[in-house]
Amino acid sequence: MRPAGQRIARVRVRRRVGTIGSLVAMSSQGHFSAGALRGAGRGVVDHRLARRHLVNEFRRGRLRQDQICDAHPELIRAARNLGTESRATCPICEAAKLRLVTYVFGSRLPAHGRCVSTAKEMAALNARSDDLTAYVVEACVECRWHHLLRVLPVGGTRARRTG
């Protein structure tokens, strides 16, 4: 039995391969909608669970170090020269502190993104009117392990205020 004020919504989920099926979802006064399924809102995506799974698989012996310590040399260069040191040590080699590197992608930025090195630079990007996306990557400069930590929206301030 559904509480008063809630209704069942049938939403068709489509992908390039075709219809996956119907999703039956509870909707309570508009908190859950088809727009939310399509990604209408811009929110932070945290990848800690995927990171934890990867580290656990390595510790169980199911993954070798050479399989997961394969960071691109450009990422390691950016981590060494521009990244900020994290409090966490590398979960793989346990020898060095992890470094955080932030790349921002969006319209009117280079195709390879922009590596943000200061808070002032990030504040300037956040003040822009167009929607940008920031990717925070943690990297170990010793063993070359890396993982996407989180994805977050940047900019779009005017669009959010009016829309």
Q: What are phi and psi of 23, to 5 degrees?
A: -115, 125
Q: How far apart are CA 153 and CA 157, in angstroms?
A: 10
The CA distances from residue 25 to 5, 19, 28, in Å, are: 14, 17, 10
| Number of separate domains in the chain | 2
Q: pLDDT at position 19, please?
A: 26
Q: Are residues 109 and 31 in the same domain?
A: no
Flag whether pLDDT at 88 surpasses 80. Answer: yes
- The residue among 51, 42, 41, 34 whose CA lies nearest residue 151 is 42
Q: How far apart are CA 116 and CA 125, in angstroms?
A: 9
Q: What is the pTM of this model?
A: 0.69
- Range(s) of the domain holding residue 16: 6-37
In this structure, is residue 1 part of a structural domain? no
Q: Are residues 16 and 56 in the same domain?
A: no
Flag whether pLDDT at 6 surpasses 90. Answer: no
Q: Are residues 55 and 33 in the same domain?
A: no
| CA triple 39-44-45, angle to 5 deg | 80
Task: Show the tokens assigned to 163.
Answer: 């829309």
